[in-house]
Structure 1
Amino acid sequence: MAKKKTITENNLIDFYMDYVLEHGKSPHSVYKFAKDNNFEEALFYNHFGNFKALEQKIFTAFFHNALNLLATNEDYQSFDARNKLLSFYYTFFEILTANRSYVIHALNSEDKPLNAIKSLSKLKSEFSDYIKSLEIETFNIDQEQIEKIQQRTIVETAWLQLLVTIKFWMDDTSAGFEKTDIFIEKSLKTSFDVINTQPLKSVIDFGKFLFKERMQMN
């Protein structure tokens, strides 16, 4: 049989996930992986430097699939930051669930926990950009350095929350992972309630008013 002349990233992702699910481990070498799937080894390197890079791409592919699905939803475009993030979570975890066996294998490496972290490193970068694009409201203090700290804190907290949710989902044994759905709803609501700036703004505005009035009286 003639070898395949072209190979896409998606082809390689499919081949790799199938191999891992069938054998419970990564392929021994790129050469053997290419031979088993009937393509030249050099074609693999047109897309990835090694299997670790491919593993990272798998999780960003899940991420982009979720965003692409959301982009087709007209209602999503009009949502505020909280509901956009909630929609993303539900969509993203539907995709994870459809690929649960692979995700569990990739992230449940108790003997090599750093491998799981490396597999998600590209996802962290992509997800962080997404959080920034939501423009989650923070308290305006008119201090650039403080505003940068606030934004960085939101991004890092959002990433930590996603990791915690993934771990909860991995351990969830409820039918249809309904407990994960509840966890998502309650945890996101709590997070946005914590950073809700309106009450604090009211207090600060009132304080400014009192200060101004006191100065005028003096």
Structure 2
Amino acid sequence: MSTTKKNTTTKKSLSSDKLIALYMDYVLENEKTPKSVYRFCKDNKLKEDEFYNFFGSFESLQKGIWERFFEHTLKVLETSPEYHEFTNREKMLTFYYTFFEMLSANRSFVLFSLRQYESKLKNLEQLKGLRKQVKHFAQELINEENETKNLKVLKQSEAIFSEAAWIQLMFLLNFWMDDNSAKFESTDVAIEKSVNTVFDVFDNIPLERVIDFGKFLWKEKMA
């Protein structure tokens, strides 16, 4: 009877977030990914079919981790009363600051995950779900701004802006991975300058920001 009760309790408490936490712990403690779902479940006293109730493979679980990073970031933003009063520029800045704070809190896992394979493209496959989320987030920002503009010629392209936001995130991610500054302050500066540059490009006043951003990148590269 006690065994049945224990198994029932485990089943009830199991969730996709719990599986993600177990997977991240395994990777950090063993400095490698699990060899099989069967072995991973056995080590964590789970049935294999319980894993498949949430993820079809380790690859889908890895994608789920990045999607959770995004979802938790958005949840933090949505619960802030000030956020809803921000301009789109401020919303994007706050999004990046919060997102990279979350990455920094999980830096050891993120660095392992993004350097797992020799092929950079293979490492980036886990970001497919995150890419959709970030592009959708950027499209919503531009939709809000376009609704306030009466002239079609002044409206910003949602597709271009959302793609720019994704490229920007990839640049910032690479920057953050190599950032050795205290509290990753250089990444914060890169976020501010890159976001201002992108928004200024869409506001048709890019020159000063682009030059300033270029100087910053050159300084960081040569340091």
TM class, shorter-chain normalised? 0.7 to 0.9
Q: Secondary structure at the match of 2:82?
A: helix
- CA distance in 1: counterparts of 2:128 and 2:165, whole angstroms: 15
User: Rg bigger for which structure?
Assistant: 1
- CA distance in 1: counterparts of 2:103 and 2:205, whole angstroms: 35
Q: Which residue of 1 aligns with 2:124?
A: 117
Where does structure 1 lack aligned partners over 5 or more consecutive residues?
A: 200-218
1:70 aligns with 2:69: no
Offset of 1:5 from its aligned partner?
Answer: 2.3
- CA distance in 2: counterparts of 1:142 and 1:134, whole angstroms: 17
Q: How many residues align?
A: 196
| TM-align CA RMSD | 2.3
- CA distance in 1: counterparts of 2:168 and 2:151, whole angstroms: 26
Q: Which residue of 2 aligns with 1:85?
A: 92
Q: Which amino acid aligns with 1:103?
A: V
Offset of 1:182 from its aligned partner?
Answer: 0.5
Residue 109 to residue 82, structure 1, CA distance change in 2 (3 Å): same
TM-score by length of 1: 0.83
Q: Which residue of 1 aligns with 2:11?
A: 5
- The partner residue of 2:189 within 182, 192, 199 is 182
Matches within 5 A, 1:43-192: 43-135=50-142, 137=145, 142=152, 150-192=157-199
Residue 34 to residue 109, structure 1, CA distance change in 2 (3 Å): closer
- CA distance in 1: counterparts of 2:142 and 2:94, whole angstroms: 16
- CA distance in 2: counterparts of 1:111 and 1:156, whole angstroms: 26
Q: Secondary structure at the match of 2:54?
A: coil
Matches within 5 A, 1:34-49: 34-49=41-56
* Identity value in percent: 43
TM-score by length of 2: 0.81
- The partner residue of 2:29 within 22, 30, 36 is 22
Offset of 1:131 from its aligned partner?
Answer: 0.7
Q: Secondary structure at the match of 1:39?
A: coil
Where does structure 2 lack aligned partners over 5 or more consecutive residues?
A: 207-223
Offset of 1:142 from its aligned partner?
Answer: 4.1
Offset of 1:25 from its aligned partner?
Answer: 1.5
- CA distance in 1: counterparts of 2:205 and 2:179, whole angstroms: 35
Offset of 1:22 from its aligned partner?
Answer: 1.1
Q: Is the 8 A contact 2:142 2:161 kept in 1?
A: no
Residue 151 to residue 140, structure 1, CA distance change in 2 (3 Å): farther
Q: Which amino acid aligns with 1:5?
A: K
Q: Which amino acid aligns with 1:175?
A: A
Residue 189 to residue 198, structure 1, CA distance change in 2 (3 Å): closer
